[in-house]
Homo-oligomer: A and B are copies of this chain.
Amino acid sequence: MPNPTAAILVIGDEILSGRTREGNAHYLAGELTRTGIDLREIRVVPDDHEGIAAAVNALRAAHDHVFTSGGIGPTHDDITADAVAAAFGVPIGVRADAHALMAAHYEARGVEFNAARMRMARIPDGASLIENPVSIAPGFTLGNVHVMAGVPNVFQAMVASVLPTLTGGQPLLSQSLRLMRPEGAVAETLGALAAAHPGVSIGSYPFSQDGAYGTNLVVRGPVAAEVDAAMRALGAAFAGAPE
């Protein structure tokens, strides 16, 4: 049975303007690989209602899971929850359980639970909450879409809440071999080895170091024996090669 597939949708003008370097997608990519969920796409879109809704609908139709990052805070530019509700065609309003969690949290800290903060208790009808142990205001899962905050430590806490609830598949295994030879010198042998090991994918990643070119070879696959066999073949092919 093939692994479940996933997409990540990152929402935020600040990433598209180059102000902020996005890191949540990279973090979640690693977690999904360990869980055996195959990440097939990452998409970054602006803070725009129609654009977010269209991307949610395209991605949830194409993948088993969609994970979103960003746009669920208390300010005017936080429009993700409304856009996801619109994508599903369901109403959204302040939900009692989310409101109660947040009221208790703010009261214990002597912080005003004002109208802006109350926006974070607005949850689309039919969603389940994603726990946020860092700052309480929850994320939510609606259908196959998991909606999480963009602040990195909150995003990571929400990922830790939601991933154990999902059914993964075979974790993708990988091994790598570092060669101090340029890609162009290993490409032909490598192509033949890749064709001879169809149960794995072999990636080739050039780098330069102190003015010399090298290549990292990465073997990936779900079956340990096949990854091992491909690695042995690479080792044998390039063992005697000048470094």
Where the two chains meet, the residues of A that have a C-beta atom closer than 8 Å to any C-beta of B are: 10, 13-23, 25-33, 39-47, 51, 73-78, 111-112, 114-117, 119-120, 151, 153, 172, 174, 182-188, 190-191, 194-195, 201-208, 218, 220
Q: Which residues of B contact A73 (CB under 8 A)?
A: 183, 187, 204, 206
Contact A202 B29 (CB under 8 A): no
Contact A183 B74 (CB under 8 A): yes
Contact A117 B184 (CB under 8 A): yes
Q: Which residues of B contact A187 (CB under 8 A)?
A: 73-76, 114, 116-117, 119
Nearest to A26 among chain B residues (CB) is B21
Q: Which residues of B contact A195 (CB under 8 A)?
A: 76
Can you give 12 contacting A-B residue pairs, CB < 8 Å? A13-B201, A13-B220, A14-B203, A21-B23, A40-B45, A41-B43, A42-B44, A73-B206, A74-B183, A76-B202, A112-B185, A114-B185
